Amino acid sequence: MSTAVIGLGLIGGSLLRALAAAGHDVVGYDADPATREAARAAGFRVAGTVPEAIRGTELTALAVPLTVLPEVIAEMKGHDGLVTDVTSVKGPVRDLMTGFRFVGGHPMAGKETSGFAASEAGLFAGCAWVLCLEPHGTDLADWLSLAGLFTSMGAQVVPVTATEHDTAVAQISHVPHLFAAVLAQQLLGNPLAGTLAAGSFRDGTRVAATRPELTAAMCGGNGSAVRRELHRLIGDLQRLEEHLAAGDPTSALVPYLSLASHARGAWPPAPGTPEKVPADVEALLELGRAGGWVTSVNDTELAGMRPETDLFLS
Amino acid sequence: MSTAVIGLGLIGGSLLRALAAAGHDVVGYDADPATREAARAAGFRVAGTVPEAIRGTELTALAVPLTVLPEVIAEMKGHDGLVTDVTSVKGPVRDLMTGFRFVGGHPMAGKETSGFAASEAGLFAGCAWVLCLEPHGTDLADWLSLAGLFTSMGAQVVPVTATEHDTAVAQISHVPHLFAAVLAQQLLGNPLAGTLAAGSFRDGTRVAATRPELTAAMCGGNGSAVRRELHRLIGDLQRLEEHLAAGDPTSALVPYLSLASHARGAWPPAPGTPEKVPADVEALLELGRAGGWVTSVNDTELAGMRPETDLFLS
């Protein structure tokens, strides 16, 4: 599929490389001239503007930060090709993309390093790649062609709605970043805590060292889901606070901690057995809600997998 | 110093080994006959009862869980030798030990494995070992002799009051365990979250897999400090919730996240320069509050170290 990749950082650069490695016709663009030069020097075709990059391509992949998306979209006015993106929040992007043939995506891939220099063709092998599917609003044929493209790179394509995605990433990534920040700032003016801190602190606060602007953009961009999930978890913490005020706090804490220990002990889940998946919106969404993913697409023959069942029953 | 070690799990067993390796006369005891047999088989002198173990020894080190301490203490009635312990909460133990010549301790050492089989003589090298010092209530000569013993094993002896210790460990260990549990239990009935979870979830929840009884005993045993610190951090989370409701949540979040990122980036702090430390209760407590520790004791000549300054200024 001929593809334009807009934004050549870690994800966009890796996508450019992966598509080229798989024999696709690709062209890249980045707003930064030095990045364009680096991509050219690496042997890629690079356009000088967004309109030049996307002209005549079947697919445009937007790999720019959420805050930059509106500018790029403004340059795409009237474009009628298929468009996808890789940003970490899906509801707001879906709303921005009204009027385009759009299927939102989010590859759950990352590294400690960023930028085109860190990009690699193999980045997506084995990674979960959310591909949004709305019961009303996504063209199934478009969705299937993207699912085929990304599974061919080794990604595990997870079919969910934008709303389901945004809730899940608030739960497993955005709120954990806020928890880490709250634990880490305890060190301020408190050197004794820094001296006594060990393994549980080290791991529980690791992501607090992330650049604050990045964490803020990620959480702020998914603001309403993060706020709702944070509020829910504050409620859980308040229940633990009540347990600590009980006559026998140790016994009062055990039931909740047992559920949590069970859940964490069962994660990551073992994959189950391969299965055939109907090329049907509801069947695909059911697969995604069950934690499953599409492993391959041949025409309309889909194969999938889901985690072993009953590990996460509440 | 002739020492009886009561409780031969990971910490007690390691203490037995470390003392023996340093040439001290040691005897061990454990309530479990199989553990006693294992310690005997490893070449150690092992007593059959607590009174037999402590009879005539200069020091008794209690290395049993907090819940078992009252039973052991009942068997020590009338004992007039110096006593220390290794439990992770210090205020409640101090209160239990009224009437004994007692200096509470807490080596911040641990491993994934537990029990005598996992014990090793080198466990305490480089670890922070809290040794409680109360302005009224601790005999300074007793404190100095224990500080000399533990620093000779390579431990960094941190002088703080029981109350300061309990607050600090609530902040950097006990509350982080509760945060991890709250994040981990989100997986229950939510397999999609389990499929999308990656690095920030993995690290932020690692300690949630701890045996729930252990986490509950640790938090419950330090209940009032954990409750107070948890309440304070819930307040911080509620402020973040307000930031997320702001017109521009991203900008609203940056100042708090910047402080947290600065704090985590500065941890662990680099050690500063070696210094002489006066053998004086207030000077020692000042060192501990600054995140410093005693590195050696020769008679009443103390050497110490503190982390590089100004990293944790708020």
Is the domain of B96 the same as that of B179? no
Give the residue on A whose Cα is nearest the Cα of B130. Answer: A196
Q: Which two tokens stand for residue B259?
A: 């402080």
Nearest to B200 among A184, A207, A261 (CB): A207
Determine, yes or no, domain membership for B99. yes
Determine, yes or no, domain membership for B170. yes
Helices B223-244 and A223-244: angle between axes, nearest 10 degrees: 160
C-alpha–C-alpha distance, residues B233 and B231, integer Å = 5
Answer whether A130 sits within 8 Å of B248, measured CB to CB.
no
Side-chain-facing half-sphere of B287: CA atoms under 13 Å = 29
Is the domain of B241 the same as that of B189? yes
Pairing of strands A293-298, A301-305: antiparallel
C-alpha–C-alpha distance, residues A13 and A39, integer Å = 8
Give the residue on A whose Cα is nearest the Cα of B310. Answer: A189
Domain that holds residue B26: 3-124
Is the domain of A86 the same as that of A192? no
- Residue where a domain stops, chosen among A245, A269, A295: A245
C-alpha–C-alpha distance, residues B115 and A21, integer Å = 52
Each residue's pLDDT tens digit in chain A (314 positions)?
999 999 999 999 999 999 999 999 999 999 999 999 999 999 999 999 999 999 999 999 999 999 999 999 999 999 999 999 999 999 999 999 999 999 999 999 876 678 999 999 999 999 999 999 999 999 999 999 999 999 999 999 999 999 999 999 999 999 999 999 999 999 999 999 999 999 999 999 999 999 999 999 999 999 999 999 999 999 999 999 999 999 999 999 999 999 999 999 999 988 889 999 999 999 999 999 999 999 999 988 999 999 986 555 54
- Please provide the DSSP assignment of A10-51 as one string: HHHHHHHHHHHHTT--EEEE-SSHHHHHHHHHTT--B-SSHH
Determine, yes or no, domain membership for A271. no
Distance from B283 to chain A by nearest Cα, in Å? 15
Residues of B in contact with A269 (CB under 8 A): 191, 194-195
Residues of A in contact with B307 (CB under 8 A): 191, 194-195
- From edge to edge, which strands make up the β-sheet containing A59-62? A26-29, A3-6, A59-62, A82-85, A101-103
Determine, yes or no, domain membership for A152. no
Determine, yes or no, domain membership for B110. yes
Give me the CATH number covering residue A45: 3.40.50.720
C-alpha–C-alpha distance, residues A123 and A109, integer Å = 7
- Residue where a domain stops, chosen among A245, A276, A298: A245
Best A111, A158, A163, A200 member to test B by mutation, with max B CBs in 10 Å, is A200
Total structural domains within chain A: 2
Give me the CATH number covering residue B198: 1.10.3660.10
Determine, yes or no, domain membership for A252. no
- Residue where a domain stops, chosen among B124, B152, B187: B124
**Does residue B307 contact residue B270 with C-beta atoms inside 8 Å?**
yes
C-alpha–C-alpha distance, residues B124 and B127, integer Å = 5
Determine, yes or no, domain membership for A311. no
Q: Which two tokens stand for residue A280?
A: 């049907």
Is the domain of B36 the same as that of B102? yes
Determine, yes or no, domain membership for B290. no
**Does residue B204 contact residue A179 with C-beta atoms inside 8 Å?**
yes
Is the domain of A107 the same as that of A33? yes
Q: Within A155-302, where are the H helices?
A: 162-169, 175-184, 191-196, 199-204, 212-221, 223-244, 249-265, 281-289
- ipTM of the assembly? 0.94
Answer whether A312 sits within 8 Å of B259, measured CB to CB.
no
Q: Which two tokens stand for residue B138?
A: 């601790």
